[in-house]
Structure 1
Amino acid sequence: MCQLLGLNANTPTDLVFSFTGFAHRAEEHRDGFGIAFFEGPGVRLFVDHQSATTSPVAEMIRRYPIHSRHIIAHIRKATQGRVALENTHPFMRELWGRYWVFAHNGNLVDFQPKLHAAFRPVGDTDSERAFCWLMQEISKCHAGVPSVAHLTQTLAELVPPVARHGTFNFLLSNGEALWVHCSTKLHYIERAHPFDTAQLQDEDLTVDFAAHTTPDDRVAVVVTEPLTCNEAWTAMAPGELLVFENGRRCPLAGAGRAG
């Protein structure tokens, strides 16, 4: 199964510590990796069909601390679609003059939606088809960029028809917030003052967040499996749809079960 990693923060933050532990999991998931960093309206997108354990691109990410408030990363274990660059997550599309980034963990069986010319997959994965369909339907539901609350409500209506085709764990961001849907397995943590020391689960690496943050910083991290062994991660429930904004979970009426 693929691995997902997302970050949402109230101030530009680097993902080097979390990505180091996350990339270690590519030893069992060798079919490519990718990571997207939002910077204002722009996005730095790095993908490679090589494993994150051997990719020079992954090594660059570990050594080059890019700071962002919205980050989505993915390690691929192929279920549909060949191992190729065009099938590597995250996927990115433009809508209403804004970039949207999406990554999926799971397998959607017999999901063949009708797609019009504006949103069509480049590769041949179920994941990219699902993303294109979501973008298509979002564009039908709204005349412009919706508020975080309105988009959450729209996703709560759009996700169940897709999730009925199989496993649909995903991360989605437009640079304003991070939307997360759990089909089977996702965990999250919200870090805030007073920050503590964290120990990676997959590598012998510890970081003292208090030495790298201010009392005003807030960071939310979402991942398939907890990255650290000494922090309290929250497991999402199957069918749960959450949204994170400015480093915290939004208590929105639309953020609930979606499948």
Structure 2
Amino acid sequence: MTLTQRPVGELLRQWREQRRLSQLALSLQADISTRHLSFMETGRSSPSRDMVLRLAEELEVPLRDRNRLLLAAGYAPVYGETSLDAPEMAAVKSAVRRILAGHEPYPACVVDRQWNLVDSNAAIQLLLTGVAPELLAPPVNVLRLSLHPQGMAPRIRNLGEWRAHLLGRLRREITVTADEGLSRLHQELVAYPCDDPETHPEDDVVVPLRIAHNGTELAFLSIVATFGTPADITVAELSIESFYPADDATARALVAFKDEQRR
């Protein structure tokens, strides 16, 4: 099957406009003339391999899409996409597992670029009480799991705030990546019912996750981490989300939950 490939100049122009940069601004960042950039975008000039990579770096194009730019320009991709189960990914998997295990008794999970669950620690089970089994069938999408009416949503006390927070994050990722799969996921999520208004907190310095558990309310703050110098697409697209107790009662409940699991 032959796939229609858009010209590299058209793709470069799309990414520049996505980043809301003028030709002048990008040419100054990349240290090239505006005329040269214009010729590349219109197809009057063909960019070299190094030029494609330079412009992609200035435009902060994701590694997956840098490969697509290279292919469109007639060059071989330079970024690999290695399975996490491959031997050469052993150090990455080990680092991720150490982070997850070291974070217990607090919940933590790893997701890929589509927000599908890659790994988690045992404490994440505390957040999944009452979730419909079909939502836990692989691939588990953590955004769908959070906002679906048969997922975590009925237990989230500040669903409007948390929903606004998650959808905002997703929209920002769509802006950065121009990923059509994420756009479809956003369309699905916004269609889920929510009686709680999508508001933003007035008093909290961050948006907490407030969730019902055994007749009480647990409150969490979350921190998202990524690998700092990825050279592989798989690694670049991994995110680790760690949940921390926002109060002493939640911290005690998490310790008690871990003790119950040990019995």
TM range (shorter): under 0.3
Q: Structure 2 length as normaliser, TM-score?
A: 0.27
Q: Which has the higher strand share?
A: 1
Kindly indicate whether structure 1 or structure 2 has the higher relative contact order, using CA contacts under 8 Å at least 6 residues apart. 1
Q: Which has the higher helix share?
A: 2
